[in-house]
């Protein structure tokens, strides 16, 4: 069910790096393109690019856009139950920001020649992926803080290098998104810190329980280990990804382990220890079976999340139809006015 419909090449072709070159002109253009990228150059929408570069970007950017939109659901679940007006206003703004991120990203992907409708259809039919993390439930208010701290924290770690992605429209969208994600991470940390330092024992226990449930899925967000990541090598060569999945995961764990101390929560990994020689935190084995199970559609909330998106699109169909009918009427009126003039 969860395969990327937008990928043109088979995995075997990619693995063998057998790119179908159609003509000598294409081969020359491809060599010039590779040299431009190797030189640190950027690519714009109207520039020539190899098909596989275009498809890789559509795959990654559309998957990213879907993640932002599906990612509105777990926290959106708590807007009507936020504990104070202040927290409600912050959460509303955050969820709205995620919707905005999805729109910038769909727009960036559209510059590559794939329509919004095609991308949404791929999501709704189960062909396109979105981040595994959004298939977990938000059981208590502390989950909202834990998502801000850990999920947005992991998202920023992964997304800051994307501000230097070789594809200009994606890189520019990421600059704005990262500014907003940074606010999101801080509000999550602040919400948890308030409960830990000024809350009741029950609230502190609620925070610890949320951290226990979100820690491992958050570190899975960075994707499979480098030696099991089929897309990494080519994406790094093309400057789409700048830092590998494992390196980003390690950077996130290093930063978060220190923040957990400040917060006064335990991270649920008995093997998490500072390694002086490496200058990094060591951590325990990640349950990759759980990760693939969720990616392949069998996580706790996969069905619910997709059903919510499909229902929202169906319920909103009349708005899109009305807007199109209005635009058509307006265009006809303007054409009549021009003819009469
Ligand atoms: N979940 O070869 P790789 C957010 C798939 S936004 C599901 O390593 P790649 C904001 C991958 O697609 C979070 N699938 O792949 C927010 C590939 O399958 P494919 C989203 C995953 O592309 C916060 C296969 O596994 N961020 O959180 C995952 O080189 C709070 C093999 O993997 C982005 O999308 C996963 N976690 O590297 C919103 C950032 N990981 O496509 C609301 C942009 C891997 O070949 C609330 N994306 N897969 O069929 C990226 O940086 C990359 O695409 C990676 C994956 C790093 C996610």
CA of 275 to the centre of ligand 1 (A): 28
In this prediction, residue 24 carries a pLDDT of: 86
Mean pLDDT computed over 95-105: 97
Q: Which of 223, 234, 305 to mutate to test the pocket of ligand 1 (most atoms within 8 A of CB)?
A: 223
Q: Partners of 275 in the beta sheet?
A: 280
CA of 309 to the centre of ligand 1 (A): 19
Beta strand spans in the chain (E):
273-275, 280-282
CB 228 within 8 A of CB 27: no
Considering only CA atoms, which residue is closest to atom 48 of ligand 1?
Answer: 223
Considering only CA atoms, which residue is closest to atom 30 of ligand 1?
Answer: 152
Q: What are the tens digits of pLDDT across the range 309-326?
A: 999 999 999 999 999 999
Position 19 pLDDT exceeds 90: no
Judge if the beta carbon of residue 68 lies within 6 A of ligand 1.
yes
Model pTM score: 0.92
DSSP 8-state symbol, 273: E
Position 11 pLDDT exceeds 80: no
Q: Write the burial class of residue 289 (CB in 10 Å: 0-12 exposed, 13-18 middle, 19+ buried).
A: exposed
Considering only CA atoms, which residue is closest to atom 15 of ligand 1?
Answer: 231
Judge if the beta carbon of residue 210 lies within 6 A of ligand 1.
no
| % the chain with pLDDT above 70 | 94
Q: What are the tens digits of pLDDT across the range 106-130?
A: 999 999 999 999 999 999 999 999 9
CB 3 within 8 A of CB 119: no
CA of 131 to the centre of ligand 1 (A): 6
DSSP 8-state symbol, 40: T
State the chain's mean pLDDT as an integer. 93
Mean pLDDT computed over 144-161: 97
CA of 90 to the centre of ligand 1 (A): 26
CA of 279 to the centre of ligand 1 (A): 27
Position 21 pLDDT exceeds 60: no
Q: In the structure, what pLDDT confidence band is assigned to residue 283 with cuts at 50, 70 and 90?
A: very high
CA of 139 to the centre of ligand 1 (A): 24
């Amino acid at each position: 069910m969860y395969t990327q419909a937008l990928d043109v090449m088979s995995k075997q072709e990619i693995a063998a790096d057998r790119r179908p070159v159609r003509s000598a002109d294409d081969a020359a253009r491809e060599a010039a393109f590779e040299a431009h990228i190797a030189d640190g150059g950027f690519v714009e929408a109207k520039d020539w690019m190899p098909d596989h570069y275009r498809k890789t970007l559509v795959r990654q950017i559309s998957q990213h856009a879907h993640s932002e939109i599906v990612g509105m659901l777990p926290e959106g679940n708590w807007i009507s139950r936020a504990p104070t007006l202040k927290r409600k206003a912050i959460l509303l703004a955050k969820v709205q920001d995620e919707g905005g991120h999805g729109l910038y990203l769909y727009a960036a992907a559209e510059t590559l020649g794939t329509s919004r409708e095609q991308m949404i259809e791929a999501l709704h039919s189960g062909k396109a992926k979105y981040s595994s993390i959004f298939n977990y439930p938000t059981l208590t208010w502390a989950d909202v803080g834990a998502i801000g701290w850990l999920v947005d924290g992991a998202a920023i770690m992964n997304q800051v290098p994307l501000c230097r992605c070789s594809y200009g429209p994606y890189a520019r969208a990421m600059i704005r998104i990262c500014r907003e994600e940074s606010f999101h991470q801080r509000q999550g940390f602040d919400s948890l810190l308030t409960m830990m330092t000024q809350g009741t024992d029950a609230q502190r226990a609620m925070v610890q329980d949320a951290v226990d449930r979100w820690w491992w899925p958050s570190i899975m967000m960075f994707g499979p280990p480098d030696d099991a990541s089929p897309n990494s090598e080519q994406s790094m060569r093309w400057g789409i990804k700048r830092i590998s999945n494992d390196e980003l995961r390690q950077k996130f764990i290093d930063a978060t382990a220190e923040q957990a101390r400040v917060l006064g929560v335990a991270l649920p990994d008995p093997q998490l220890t500072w390694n002086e020689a490496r200058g990094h935190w060591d951590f325990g084995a990640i349950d990759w079976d759980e990760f693939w199970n969720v990616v392949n559609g069998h996580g706790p909330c996969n069905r619910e999340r997709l059903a919510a998106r499909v229902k929202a699109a169906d319920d909103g169909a009349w708005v899109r139809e009305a807007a199109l009918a209005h635009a058509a009427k307006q265009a006809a009126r303007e054409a009549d006015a021009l003819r009469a003039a």
